[in-house]
Copies of this chain bind each other. A is one copy, B any other.
Amino acid sequence: MQPTEIKIAYLGGGSRYWARDLFTELALSPRLAGRIDLYDVDLAAARRNVAIAEAIFDRPEAQSRFAVRAVPTLPAALREADFVLLSIEPGPIELRFADLEIPARHGVFQPVGDTTGPGGLLRALRAVPVFADFAAQIAEHCPRAWVINFTNPLTLCTAALAATAPQLRVFGCCHEVFHTQARLAELVARQFGAPPPDRREIDVDLGGLNHFTWITAARWKGQELLSLLRDELVAPGYFRSRTRAACGRKQEGRWFESDGLVSCDLFRRFGALGAAGDRHLAEFVPWYAGSEAELHRWGVVATPYAWRRHRARERDRSPQVFAGRPLRAGDEECVRMIAALVGHEPIDTNVNLPNAGQMPGLPAGHVVETNARFRHGAVTPIVAPELPAGVQALVRRAADVQALTLRAALTRDIDLAFQALLADPLVRLPTDRAWKMFSEMLAYVRGALAGWRLPAT
């Protein structure tokens, strides 16, 4: 059987790890073929990813053929694209200073700062207009393409696409739920004395917002898992301080590691399991990240700005790092989605889509994360479970902050953006001090906010 020919437009030269995983997964898909056009405002960054791609598709174990090139303009990348993949960094990495360090100086501590909180908000103000422009150009050059966003803040970048060009076929992808499934697979291993099953065997009822998703039921071979988890949580010491572990993680740079304690604390308090990394969950509520010490007590460490900047610079220096490694199938669901959409193996998986009924407590059109069916030419959302009333209150609040931020960013309205900032759970500064913080943040990224009427400094 001939492989299906597709054209992928890959926008953003950002993460080389993610680029590696994507190309690897494509290289291991014998039923797909075609070409990939990479575009980035920094052509050199796109070229670095071309080099990675070539190294991967040249591996002997590669099973598919894709022609990969960097193109100098966005329209060139988009033309005839069947799939548009969006993974950009909105502005130079140094702008993350404003997202992370300025709030910290005002006492607002953020473990990640790219999704919500003052940092997620400022990042959204930079990214949303870029995505609005992407939407307009996609609508012009490849209106029938599937548009897949990986950029954070995932909800708002995806929403910017959908709001600007509702006719496009847009969704957003994220791995965080997979990690929670993997944690449940380990629970299965502990409870049944067997090796952990594939995380895809863990069937979950879930719903919410990206990085603030909730699992209300989980099953493995007919076995209900959350009650087993509940039994584990009551063990004495389960919720003991993890400060020591967190300090070790910080020292060794294991930023993304945690014990899932925040996720489990939400579960014991609210009756649904937080289905994202603790570092994300902790940013949507005001209880865990009041300070670095508090965050450490829950075993979570913040990713420092300095490391982010360092990694970005290192990347620019050593593009060829992935050449020579044998290809190994990973957990990049995106390629399975593409395969299902062109008519290969169907899959059901979690994804971010405008609410068409799948998330009843939230407004129509708000981008929500639930399971969905991927079939030949169609993505159809699956109705999420009714979240417990307490969780609904938390989720609705986060959605309100997102809606204010989106509208502020689309209309370039600083006052509305500030209202969103005040409404964020991480902010409880007096309004005048919050305004001072916000003014400093805006001033720092001023160059990336073309067309805004910023406050005088």
Contact A428 B430 (CB under 8 A): no
Interface stretch, picked from A24-32, A189-197, A370-378, A446-454, is A370-378
Chain copies in complex: 4
Shortest distance from the beta carbon of A166 to any chain B beta carbon, whole Å: 12
Question: Which of the listed residues A360, A389, A403, A429 has the most CB atoms from chain B within 10 Å of its own CB?
Answer: A389
Contact of A422 among B287, B358, B386, B407 (CB under 8 A): B287
The distance from the CB of A356 to the nearest CB of chain B, in whole angstroms, is 5
The answer to whether B222 and A343 touch across the interface, beta carbons within 8 angstroms, is: yes
Say whether, besides A357-B360, A378-B217, A290 and B393 are in contact (CB < 8 Å). Answer: no
**Residues of chain B within 8 A of A336, CB atoms compared:** none
Please determine whether B428 and A269 come into contact, CB atoms closer than 8 angstroms: no
Contacts of A396 in B (CB 8 A): 396-397, 400
With A416-B389, A430-B297 given, is the CB distance from A377 to B270 under 8 Å? Answer: no
Partner of A290, one of B285, B377, B418, B430: B430
Chain B minimum-CB-distance residue to A375: B203
Closest to A373 in B: B382
CB pair A423 B378 closer than 8 Å: no
Q: Is the CB of A219 within 8 A of B382?
A: no
B222 in contact with A269 (CB, 8 Å) = no
A: contact size bracket: 35 or more
Asked if A224 is an interface residue, CB under 8 A from chain B, the answer is yes
Contact indicator A294/B377 (Cβ below 8 Å):
no
CB under 8 Å from chain B, chain A span 356-410: 356-360, 364, 371, 373, 375-378, 380-384, 386, 389-390, 392-394, 396-397, 400-401, 403-404, 407
Please list the 7 inter-chain residue pairs (A to B) with the smallest Cβ-Cβ separation, ordered nearest first: A390-B419, A286-B428, A393-B400, A357-B360, A357-B357, A222-B343, A381-B383
Chain A interface residues (CB < 8 Å from chain B): 203, 205, 217, 219, 221-222, 224, 239, 265, 269-271, 285-288, 290, 294, 297, 342-343, 348, 356-360, 364, 371, 373, 375-378, 380-384, 386, 389-390, 392-394, 396-397, 400-401, 403-404, 407, 415-416, 418-420, 422-423, 425, 427-432, 434
Q: List 7 A-B contacts (CB under 8 A).
A: A217-B378, A219-B378, A271-B415, A286-B286, A287-B434, A356-B360, A390-B416
